[in-house]
Copies of this chain bind each other. A is one copy, B any other.
Amino acid sequence: MRRMLPLFLLFSTLVACAQGTGARSDELSGEWILTERVSGEALTRRMRLQLNRSGGITGDSATYKVEGKLNGADITLKWLTGSGRLLSSYTGKLQNGTLTGEADVGGLKVQWSARRPAARPPGALRTHRFTPKEFHRTYSSAHSPVLRVFPGDTVQTSSIDAAGTDEKSVRRVLGGDPLTGPFYVEGALRGDTLVVRFNRIRPNRDWAWSGQSLIGNALMPDYLVSMKRDTEFNSRWKIDRDKGVVYLDSPTVALRRFTVPLQPMIGSVGVAPQGDNAIQTIDSGEFGGNMDYNQLREGTTLYLPVFHEGALLLLGDGHAAQGDGELTGDALETSMDIEFGVDVIRNQALRTPRAENAEYLMSIGIAGSLDQALRVATTDMARWLESAYKLTSNESAMILGSAVKYDVADLVATQVSIVAKVPKAVLASFATNP
């Protein structure tokens, strides 16, 4: 069987909601978060209801229309397409500010409930400090959130290195990219975009380690066969945070003056993937993950598709420096202090992660080969330009054909990644376009 349809399409048919006459309007009218349990999966979506005086209910959810009745505590709802076709019907009860009941969705009997979105606490945007104690090695909706934050909030936290060692050089857990989180972002629902602004990514210790030799998949067979490997080669690095450079701790003679700039980045960052999937944090996909993109650094904003309530952001696998593709399999792995801000763009369903910094828009294509990853990235960037600036395919082609750049991000997991970038300079003419 082929790739599953995204659930928000399959279940455009699953939705609904509830309640009230006269005085009960407050209790029912306004925004709800609807959850359906289908075949063991929880599907959520946003819905807006309005109770009129006669007990009739009108509403909408994305592009769908909702119609219903509230009779005492009993509620019925129907979900209709724009053209009036019935998609699904719901019955239930309004009790204690919550709706619960059963629905018929395309012949499947489904349990549903709905509740009010969480309300932001009074006062200004908040900055949360969070010190991680546990770490996760899968992206999964099964992990309990460690912190709940609201759009606009800022989080200050830290990550341990890919082998599980922290800023005090203490081994905390198994290796394999153990990550910090998940962070639950209130109001983020399936079909939204999670915004993560990296304000600060800095090593919190003075050493890193890397792989010793190049990965086989990036090399030709004859070189692989002929190359000599010194398995005692010391690939521990020193991080000089003051001078902003890194160099080998015990270099060979030839490399005794070799230094590279300190360019801290986050290797693995993503949200809980679709459905019940649990993907190891060393792998990647439309949910983000181990993209190992050296431009995911201070000053970059990352956009991720949301598949579960709260998005459930995990991050870590910091690198003090990394060439494109992470050719040594493990880059200069170290622990990091991280500060990031979050936001949510409602009803913008990304197909692949995007990013943005002062210079570029970036579409991150992730697939099983570079050729396929480039197709994902190019297509997404064409769509981004067309949607953001109301362009035709020919118009976006003029921009990409004359100005696109590609970065090879990651070569080491099951999935590889290529990034299509467009300089903001050439997009400046569109700024005043609207």
Known contacts A1-B290, A2-B413, A375 near B219 by CB under 8 Å? yes
Within 8 A of B (CB), among A325-378: 325-333, 367-372, 374-376, 378
On chain B, the residues within 8 Å of A426 by CB distance are 258-260
Q: Which of A2, A178, A368 has the most CB of B within 10 A?
A: A2
On chain B, the residues within 8 Å of A178 by CB distance are 39
Within 8 A of B (CB), among A188-240: 210-225, 227-230, 233, 235
On chain B, the residues within 8 Å of A210 by CB distance are 398, 401-402
Q: Is A108 among interface residues, defined by CB-CB distance under 8 A?
A: yes
Let me know if A279 and B282 touch, CB within 8 A. no
Q: Is A86 among interface residues, defined by CB-CB distance under 8 A?
A: no
On chain B, the residues within 8 Å of A374 by CB distance are 218, 325, 370, 408, 411
A46 to B176, CA, bound (A): 24
Q: Is A397 among interface residues, defined by CB-CB distance under 8 A?
A: yes
In the complex, per-residue mask of A275-302: 1 if CB is within 8 Å of any chain B CB, else 0: 1111111100100001010000000000
Q: Is A267 among interface residues, defined by CB-CB distance under 8 A?
A: yes
Known contacts A2-B326, A4-B175, A214 near B331 by CB under 8 Å? no
A288 to B294, CA, bound (A): 30
Let me know if A321 and B402 touch, CB within 8 A. yes
Let me know if B39 and A2 touch, CB within 8 A. no
Q: Is A73 among interface residues, defined by CB-CB distance under 8 A?
A: no
Let me know if A258 and B401 touch, CB within 8 A. no
On chain B, the residues within 8 Å of A173 by CB distance are 39, 108
Residue of B nearest to A415 (CB): B368
Q: Is A162 among interface residues, defined by CB-CB distance under 8 A?
A: yes
On chain B, the residues within 8 Å of A53 by CB distance are none
On chain B, the residues within 8 Å of A411 by CB distance are 374
Question: A57-65, A112-120, A382-390: which lies at the B interface?
Answer: A382-390
On chain B, the residues within 8 Å of A95 by CB distance are none
Within 8 A of B (CB), among A123-147: 135, 137-138, 140, 142
Q: Is A416 among interface residues, defined by CB-CB distance under 8 A?
A: yes
Given contacts A214-B382, A219-B378, A370-B370, 16 further A-B contacts (CB under 8 A): A3-B282, A38-B174, A137-B275, A138-B278, A140-B278, A219-B221, A223-B379, A254-B390, A255-B429, A323-B401, A323-B403, A327-B404, A367-B414, A368-B415, A369-B369, A408-B408
Mark A residues whose CB is within 8 Å of B. Answer: 1-5, 10, 38-39, 41, 106-108, 135, 137-138, 140, 142, 162, 164, 171, 173-178, 210-225, 227-230, 233, 235, 246, 248, 252, 254-260, 267-268, 274-282, 285, 290, 292, 317, 321-333, 367-372, 374-376, 378-379, 382-383, 389-408, 411-416, 418, 426, 429-430, 432-433
Lowest 3 CB-CB distances: which A-B pairs, in order?
Answer: A368-B368, A216-B221, A328-B401
The 13 sampled A-B contact pairs (Cβ below 8 Å) are A5-B176, A214-B396, A219-B378, A223-B382, A260-B403, A276-B278, A277-B278, A324-B404, A325-B404, A369-B372, A371-B371, A406-B407, A408-B408
